[in-house]
Amino acid sequence: MSTAYLLTGGNIGNRLAYLEQARQLIAQHCGRIMKYSSVYETAAWGLMDQPAFYNQALALETQLTPDQLMRELLRIEEEMGRERTVRMGPRTIDLDILLIDQQIITDPLLTVPHPALPDRRFALLPLTEIAGELIHPVLHKTIRQLLEDCKDQLDVQKKSAGGN
């Protein structure tokens, strides 16, 4: 059994409903959601000329291997209408694996820890809420320390409370 930390997000349609649907599908197909953060609204990162995102971090207990989990998350994205037409463009849902226990994985399908995690406030803030004392397996800092050190200045606003 592993604990995976995921980031869900989207900026098309009913963003809150899509995050809730993603949580339900992840719980049905991937394992037990132990905690989830508040929902945060963030200006788009990278490709700026698009609607703001809603993001939420999840702590997932899973029996799936990392590759199986990634494939299942990609299947859920597709089921929820995710289309990959513009890199970093608007999307109904985006499901990323941020961390899995203390594993370090680099393969064509998956890189864990997520390589951009230390640079993205919109991921670190919700992750800190549910796992602030977790140690990053490569940088050997807590998630809370990574958030304090993060240079990203995008505004991240809490929209609703988390759970569990």
Burial 82-99 (b: 16+ CB within 10 A, else e): beeeeeeebbbbbbbbbb
Tell me, rounded to whole angstroms, the distance of Cα 139 from its chain centroid: 19
* 82 catalytic per annotation: yes
91 is catalytic: yes
Residues 142 and 158: their CA atoms lie apart, in Å, by 21
Pick the catalytic residue: 23, 49, 87, 96? Answer: 96
Select which of 71, 82, 144, 152 is catalytic: 82
Q: Active site residue: 15, 23, 94, 120, which one?
A: 94
Answer yes or no: 67 catalytic: no
Task: Determine which one of 15, 91, 120, 121 is catalytic.
Answer: 91
96 is catalytic: yes
What is the distance between the alpha carbons of residues 38 and 127, in angstroms, rounded to a whole number? 10
Active site (catalytic) residues: 82, 91, 94, 96
